[in-house]
Amino acid sequence: MFNLYLIRMRFLFFSGIIFFVGSIILINANYYILDIERNGKVVKMKIEQLPKTCYGGKVRYFVTYSYEGKMYDKATRGNYCEEHYIGELVDMKFLQGSKEILRPNESALMNLLFFAALGVLGAVISAIQWRKMKR
């Protein structure tokens, strides 16, 4: 019985560490999107390719936009494909030198806050299990 308890504590400890480290990696990887949100400018981009339909909650459809001779892909869902057409100029947020684009009303802050909360949760779980293992 004691060994099972110790195994569970170690599992929770290492799970918390993984959550903490994973959240740092995710925050770092998505921080540039926040930079686009804050420092980017809204420009007119041309729709180059559209899927025939964008319906479906689990499938990610990609729309291809062009701006200054470069192509950018952006995931979309819902009825976006039915509301827009190839060749249409739409507003998108763009930062020079970036490979990503955002919609003008799209925010990256909620994702970063979620990742930070995940990291705090992982740190708390690990700290609690560390104290239990030291006893």
Structural domain spans, the chain: 1-39+105-135, 41-94
Give every CB contact of residue 3 below 8 A, 6+ residues apart in sequence: none
DSSP H helical ranges for the chain:
2-39, 80-83, 109-134
* Contact by Cβ (8 Å): 35, 124: no
pLDDT of 35: 87
* Contact by Cβ (8 Å): 8, 107: no
Enter the pTM of the model.
0.70
Nearest to 23 by CA among 34, 33, 12, 31: 31
Along the 135 residues of the chain, how does pLDDT read in single tens digits? 557 777 888 898 899 999 999 999 988 888 888 888 889 999 999 999 998 777 766 777 899 999 999 999 998 877 888 888 999 999 999 999 888 899 998 888 888 889 999 999 999 999 988 888 777
Third-level CATH fold of 41-94:
OB fold (Dihydrolipoamide Acetyltransferase, E2P) (2.40.50)
